[in-house]
Amino acid sequence: MSKRIDVENLNVYYGDFLAVENINMAIEPRSVTAFIGPSGCGKSTFLRTLNRMHEVLPGARVEGKVLLDGEDLYGKGVDPVAVRTHVGMVFQRPNPFPTMSIRENVLAGVKLNNKKISRTDADDLVEKSLRGANLWNEVKDRLDKPGAGLSGGQQQRLCIARTIAVKPEVILMDEPCSALDPISTLAVEDLINELKEEFTVVIVTHNMQQAARVSDKTAFFNIAGTGKPGKLIEYAPTQEIFNNPSEKATEDYVSGRFG
């Protein structure tokens, strides 16, 4: 089930360094939102606050709220591990467990959460997750072979299957195609389009065409200079950001004049 995200007055720190300042943003369920902006403006940092991955670094902390269907992920007594089952994450480099089989890779997250599951239910879940990740037909005859034996694009879709298997409501993707060739990139982009029927998807990308192809809304972030915090400059429907942005900095960035 897809959920909405409301970010309120969020500041994100590494120790004393304010990396991202005062973000307010509403992300609709069943949509794809792209984060774009020059290097160092805090896209990945902000993304990682949406499933409490930021705070795993010593000294890293946030101020403000991130509400998932109205419930604050940073509220008192909220378990960050539980948060990460609701808000899954796919990383830049495909990172399947290399010695595990394809099947075991899909089930890895479910097992980490200590969920007991029968063989039949596991088989169903493996098939459903791999179908959901557009990978089933390519791997159905070699489920017991190692995940490391797949191509980069297949590995990334395997990681997406692993994320889907724990039935999250939100999927965060940090430059999920940056290590992939153009054909695999298209396969993952097609998949992102399908994922939004069931999940809220947020993707960080350096590739403007990709943001334009896959997202419904785009958030442009910027920094005033080194050591300054990243800020959200403009957040609007993707068409508007690319064709008719309100801010000059957005226009300069999307037209390739800086960044």
Ligand X SMILES: Nc1ncnc2c1ncn2[C@@H]1O[C@H](COP(=O)(O)OP(=O)(O)OP(=O)(O)O)[C@@H](O)[C@H]1O
Q: Edge-to-edge strand order for the sheet containing 170-174?
A: 71-72, 60-68, 5-14, 17-27, 230-237, 217-223, 32-36, 200-204, 170-174, 87-90
Q: Which residues contact 211 (CB under 8 A, 6 or more apart)?
A: 34, 36, 203, 205, 218, 238, 242
Q: Return the percent helix, strand and coil in the chain, to nearest 5.
A: 35, 25, 35
Task: Give 40 or 149: the residue with its C-beta nearer to ligand X.
Answer: 40
Q: Which of residues 1-40 bind ligand X (CB under 6 A)?
A: 14, 17, 19, 37, 39-40
Site map for ligand X, 203-242, x if CB under 6 A? ---------------------------x------------
Residue closer to ligand X, measured from CB, 1 or 57: 57
Closest approach of Cβ 85 to ligand X, in Å? Answer: 24
Q: Of 32, 48, 39, 157, which Cα lies nearest the Cα of 95? A: 157
DSSP for 45-83, please give it: HHHHHTTT-GGGSTTEEEEEEEEETTEETTSTT--HHHH
Rounded to a whole number of angstroms, the minimum distance from the CB of residue 148 to ligand X is 26
The least CB distance from residue 99 to ligand X, in Å, is: 29
Q: Which of residues 39-78 bind ligand X (CB under 6 A)?
A: 39-45, 57
Please, which residue, 44 or 210, has the CB nearer to ligand X? 44
- Of 94 and 230, which CB lies nearer to ligand X in the complex structure? 230
Q: What is the residue type of 240?
A: E
Cβ 42 to ligand X shortest distance, Å: 4
Identify which of residues 40 and 152 has a Cβ nearer to ligand X in the complex: 40
User: Can residue 91 be called a binding residue for ligand X (CB under 6 A)?
Assistant: no
Interface contacts to ligand X, rule CB under 6 A: 14, 17, 19, 37, 39-45, 57, 230
